[in-house]
Amino acid sequence: MVHALRRAGQRLRSGGSLISIRPHETQLPLVSIITPSRRMPVARLPTPGFDDRQSAADAALERVVAERRFALTGIRNHRYRSLLDNPSQLRTYLELIIPPRPRFPPGRRARLHELWRSRPPGSKIEIAEWIVVTALRRR
Amino acid sequence: MAAPLDISAYPPDGMEIRLIERFTTLKGRRILEVGCGDGRLTFQYAPTAREILAIDPDRPSIEDALDEQAALRVPNVTFRVGSIEQLPARGAPFDVALFSWSL
């Protein structure tokens, strides 16, 4: 990763911006059932191997700043939500994520189906995800 | 016939661009996008950028992007199969390098 950032630095003009958009390292995707009157969190979805990859990305960004190739301009976290009509759409949603994909912890998928079967009319499944935008400026 | 499902695991269109533009404008800029995939994000900012080189190592994704480019008639984007490490170290400088979900 650090090689990719260095090469990007070679191709940026002085003062140019390097922007990274990626999933948040610690805020795991959260699946909830939204009824007309309440929100019922069901599970946070860990992604196997994700921590190592995100740590490597963080280390690479810190490295090119430490090398004084770039200066940190800022970091912003942002949450976005998707509303789905049923568990089948949730399965499709998760399959659209480039591997490695988040997974339900043991027992939580069954819990989702249990809650979904007893849902009041008008309920939805919500998946909330967090992204982090990191901005660097080429020195 | 059932309506097609409109499901995306990415943020809603425009959200990422608004976040990026809190740090730098993309308007009128020469942009290098690394990990462009099928051009999902590229086509959101292409109308205002000056010129874009969008690269991704996944050939099928680039082929999808080229199909979409032809359909949308977007003239200022060059899609290329490859990684940033394969990009020559020297060349016309970019104003912005965008790593879209690719670090």
Domains with residue ranges and CATH for chain B:
26-86 (3.40.50.150)
**B1 pLDDT exceeds 70?**
no
Q: What is the pLDDT of residue B5?
A: 58
Q: Which residue from A8, A23, A82 is facing B32, i.e. has the nearest CB?
A: A8
| B16-57 pLDDT per residue, tens | 999 999 999 999 999 999 999 999 999 999 999 999 999 999
Touching check for B6 and chain A: CB below 8 Å?
no
| Distance, first Cα to last Cα, chain B | 40
Band of residue B2 on the pLDDT scale cut at 50, 70, 90: very low
Owner of token pair 């189906």: A113
State phi, psi for B94 to the nearest 5 degrees.
-100, 155
ipTM for the assembly = 0.91
Q: Is B39 exposed, middle or buried (0-12, 13-18, 19+ CB in 10 A)?
A: buried
Q: Measured between alpha carbons, how far is B4 from A42 in angstroms, rounded to an integer?
A: 27
Touching check for B97 and chain A: CB below 8 Å?
yes
Return the domain boundaries, chain A: 2-138
| A7-40 pLDDT per residue, tens | 999 999 999 999 999 988 888 899 999 999 999 9
State phi, psi for B90 to the nearest 5 degrees.
-110, 150
Residues of A in contact with B23 (CB under 8 A): 17, 19, 73-74, 133, 135
| A99-128 pLDDT per residue, tens | 778 889 999 999 999 999 999 999 999 999
CA distance A8 to chain B (A): 6
